[in-house]
Amino acid sequence: MSLRNLTIDPAWTLFLDRDGVINRRIVGDYVKTWEQFEFLPGVTDAIRKFSSVFGRIVVVSNQQGIGKGLMTDAEVQSIHRRMTEEIARCGGKIDGVLVSPHLHAERSVMRKPNVGMALKARKQFPGILFNRSVMAGDSLSDMIFGKRAGMTTVFIAGDPSVAQKHPRQIDFLFPDLISLANAL
User: Taking 60 as the threshold, does the pLDDT of residue 168 lie above it?
Assistant: yes
pLDDT digits (tens, 9 = 90+) for 20-29: 999 999 999 9
* Domain locations along the chain: 13-183
Using alpha carbons only, give the angle 54, 57, 59 rounded to the nearest 5 degrees. 155
Proportion of the chain above pLDDT 70, given as a percent: 97
Q: Quick one: how many helices (H) and strands (E) in the chain? A: 7, 6
Q: 22 and 43 in contact (C-beta within 8 Å)?
A: yes
pLDDT value of position 6: 80
- The burial of 90, by beta-carbon neighbours within 10 Å (0-12 exposed, 13-18 middle, 19 or more buried), is given as middle
* Average pLDDT of the residues in 37-46: 98
- Lowest mean pLDDT, pick from 56-65, 80-89, 103-112, 152-161: 152-161
Proportion of the chain above pLDDT 90, given as a percent: 86
Active site amino acids: 17, 19
pLDDT digits (tens, 9 = 90+) for 74-87: 999 999 999 999 99
- The crossing angle, in degrees rounded to 10, of helices 140-149 and 116-124 is 50
Residue 126, preceding peptide bond in cis (omega within 30° of 0)? no
pLDDT bracket for residue 1 (50, 70, 90): very low
- DSSP code string of 39-53: BPTTHHHHHHHHHTT
- For the chain, what is the largest distance between any 2 Cα atoms, rounded to a whole number of angstroms? 44
In the three-class reduction of DSSP (H, G, I as helix; E, B as strand; rest coil), residue 59 is classed as strand
Average pLDDT, the chain: 94
- The CATH number fitting domain 13-183, selected from 3.60.15.10, 3.20.20.140, 3.20.20.70, 3.40.50.1000: 3.40.50.1000
pLDDT value of position 2: 47
Q: 92 and 53 in contact (C-beta within 8 Å)?
A: no
